[in-house]
């Protein structure tokens, strides 16, 4: 880290005690900022970095709800509205027992730069709850969502803050949330939430967007090295929405995905993951990944296994934060991996990132590689504002174009700042400068 930033980082740590994930995200961005402050000293004078690190608003609230047996539960809800210099706050809602303020702040901080990289007019925010929808009935999920939105509704709106889905929040949850917002506000404000069902203002490609965007980014990244996904052996951690559609797009682009996982272990299918089977297990049955092997006799299930030990050309971590460690990175490199791109948010530890960059392989951070989801959410907002509906093919082409622009911008910025091929530095600097210039233009607010 540049010495000019050490005291700033120390102050951030002091102001955010115990927020490990948030501090990690800040450190990662700060590691790229030295050359920017040297080139633009006015950003230091105006304390732009300090202002970006402090959320504009942090909301924590109680969410009481009742289960099917009549028992009362109390969960905690969050919405961190981090930065609106470029547009209304935009970022998903995560429902998972691990959710706490640090997790939401790290996700919101990353969202600022990710959204800036899309080139679309959206700021950064994030929210969620420690509620777990797994194992709950539709009626229980509905009651929780209605209670959650009863408080959240006063803080969101299409010109203020536009949440979307994330882990644990899909079309079912978004539908319940939107229904309660409509009921309370007495307005059919389609643009207040994205990731909606197609029958009430949703957009085609939104379900596939993060995974598809990741595939497009990897293809561009390999293309910059005169290679392609065609014939490459790939592994994808996770088996949720992002992972499934990353597998689908990588397969369409000629790659062969041989392994994916969930929290119980991973499966290996030498012939390539069969998407209809995977979708049946995970999207229809909502079952564990081991069920896949009941349909594919040549597939193997590795209980509590480490997917990163699987030999591959391309690795796509799409599960959760800090899942790929320094030890895992060393194993991937030893096995000949040439590219890593993040489908999840901050899934690679700092030690692993350092190893990838030192080895000179293509490595793309989530704020660039998984920006397809929020980009398509912004496209959904455009359709809602114009009362329009775009075709799947049209929206997919726009997504591919946005991901190419993000890739090229990261690469060009890395070249400009003397670190050619370093997508992590390029993404951090390109995202930061866009937000910093907007903050500067808006005055001391």
Q: Which residues are identified as catalytic?
A: 126
Structure tokens at 150: 């009863």
Q: Residue 313: which of 333, 329, 331, 336 has the closest Cα?
A: 336
The β-bridge relationship of strands 362-364 and 339-341 is parallel
Q: Report angle CA 60, 64, 70 to the nearest 5 degrees.
A: 165
In whole angstroms, give the CA distance from residue 32 to residue 35.
7
Other Cβ atoms less than 10 A from the Cβ of 176: the count is 20
Which residues, 6 or more positions from 4, have their beta carbon under 8 angstroms from its beta carbon?
A: 34, 37, 44
In whole angstroms, give the CA distance from residue 327 to residue 310.
13
Q: Measure Cα distances from 424 to 20, 93, 98, 192, 356 in Å.
A: 20, 25, 26, 31, 11
Residue 368 · residue 114 · CB < 8 Å: yes
Residue 417 · residue 409 · CB < 8 Å: no
Bin 306: left if φ > 0, else alpha if -120 < ψ < 50, else beta: beta
């Amino acid at each position: 880290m540049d010495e000019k930033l050490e005291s700033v980082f120390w102050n951030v740590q002091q102001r955010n005690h115990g927020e490990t994930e948030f501090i990690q995200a800040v450190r990662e961005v700060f590691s790229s900022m030295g050359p920017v402050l040297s080139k633009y000293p006015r950003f230091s004078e105006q304390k732009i970095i300090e202002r970006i690190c402090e959320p504009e608003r942090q909301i924590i609230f109680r969410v009481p709800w009742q289960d099917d047996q009549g028992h009362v539960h109390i969960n905690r809800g969050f919405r961190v509205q981090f930065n609106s210099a470029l547009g209304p706050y935009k970022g998903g809602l995560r429902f998972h027992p691990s959710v706490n303020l640090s997790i939401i702040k790290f996700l919101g901080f990353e969202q600022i730069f990710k959204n800036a990289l899309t080139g679309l007019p959206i700021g950064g925010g994030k929210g969620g709850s420690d509620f777990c929808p797994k194992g709950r009935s539709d009626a229980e999920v509905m009651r929780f969502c209605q209670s959650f939105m009863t408080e959240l509704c006063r803080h969101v709106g299409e010109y203020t803050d536009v949440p979307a889905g994330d882990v644990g929040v899909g079309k079912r949850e978004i539908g319940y949330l939107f229904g309660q917002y409509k009921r309370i506000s007495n307005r059919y404000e389609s643009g207040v939430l994205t990731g909606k069902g197609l029958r009430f203002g949703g957009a085609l490609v939104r379900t596939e967007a993060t995974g598809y965007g990741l595939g497009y980014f990897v293809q561009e990244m390999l293309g910059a090295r005169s290679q392609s996904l065609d014939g490459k052996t790939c592994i994808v951690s996770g088996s949720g929405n992002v992972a499934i559609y990353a597998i689908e797009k990588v397969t369409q682009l000629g790659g062969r995905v041989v392994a994916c996982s969930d929290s119980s272990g991973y499966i290996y299918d030498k012939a390539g993951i069969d998407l209809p089977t995977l979708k049946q297990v995970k999207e229809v049955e909502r079952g564990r990944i081991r069920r896949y092997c009941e349909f594919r006799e040549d597939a193997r299930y590795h209980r509590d296994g480490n997917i990163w030990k699987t030999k591959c050309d391309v690795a796509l971590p799409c599960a959760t934060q800090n899942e790929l460690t320094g030890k895992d990175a060393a194993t991937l490199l030893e096995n000949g991996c040439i590219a890593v791109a993040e489908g999840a948010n901050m899934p690679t530890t700092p030690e692993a990132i350092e190893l990838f960059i030192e080895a000179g392989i293509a490595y793309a951070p989530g704020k660039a590689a998984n920006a397809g989801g929020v980009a398509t959410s912004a496209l959904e907002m455009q359709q809602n504002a114009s009362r329009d509906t775009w075709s799947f093919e049209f929206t997919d082409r726009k997504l591919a174009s946005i991901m190419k622009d993000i890739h090229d911008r990261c690469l060009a910025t890395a070249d400009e700042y003397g670190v050619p091929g370093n997508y992590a530095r390029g993404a951090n600097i390109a995202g930061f400068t866009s937000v910093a210039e907007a903050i500067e233009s808006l005055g001391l607010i």
